[in-house]
Amino acid sequence: MKKQILSLRATTYMFIGVSIVLLAVAIKVIFFPSTATQMLINEADIDYEKKYEINLDGRIGLGVFTPSPLDENFKSVIEFEDIIEKKLEYMLLFKSWGDQDSAFPVEYFPYLRKLELTPVITWEPWIRDFNHPEAIQKEYTLTRIAEGYHDDYVESWAGGAKEEGIEIIIRFAHEMSTVEGEKTWYPWQGEPEEYIKAYKRIVNIFRENEAWNVKFMWSPIIFHGAGDINLYYPGNDYVDLIGFTSINLGEISGKKGEDYNWLGCDYIITEQYKQVVKFSKPIIVTELLSNDLGGDKASWYSNCLTIAASLQKVVGLISVQIDSDFRWSQYEIDWRVDSTQETLDAFKKGIKNKSYK
In order along its 357 residues, the chain shows pLDDT tens digits of 333 333 333 333 333 333 433 343 344 444 444 444 444 578 878 889 899 999 999 999 999 999 989 988 899 999 999 999 999 999 999 999 999 999 999 999 999 999 999 999 999 999 998 888 888 889 999 999 999 999 999 999 999 999 999 999 999 999 999 999 899 889 999 999 999 999 999 999 999 999 999 999 999 998 766 889 999 999 999 999 999 999 998 876 455 555 567 889 988 999 999 999 999 999 999 999 998 888 999 999 999 999 999 999 999 999 999 987 656 555 668 899 999 999 999 999 999 999 999
The DSSP symbol for 39 reads: H
CA distance 83 to 351: 12
Q: What is the pLDDT of residue 325?
A: 63
Please state, in angstroms and rounded to a whole number, the distance separating the CA atoms of residues 240 and 235. Answer: 10
Q: Can you tell me the distance from the alpha carbon of 256 to that of 95, in angstroms, rounded to the nearest whole number? A: 31
Distances (CA, A) of 78 to 29, 85, 174, 268: 29, 10, 27, 28
Q: Hey, what domains does the chain have and what are their CATH numbers? A: 47-350 (3.20.20.80)
CB within 8 Å of 107: residues ≥ 6 apart: 37, 41, 70
Cβ–Cβ contacts within 10 Å for residue 83, how many?
16
- Please enumerate in sequence order all residues whose Cβ is within 8 A of that of 313, keeping only pairs 6 or more positions apart, or say none: 273, 277, 280, 281, 282, 283
Cβ contact 177:232 at 8 Å? yes
* Phi, psi for residue 46 in degrees, rounded to 5: -75, 130
Q: Tell me how far apart the alpha carbons of residues 219 and 282 are, in angstroms, rounded to a whole number.
A: 12
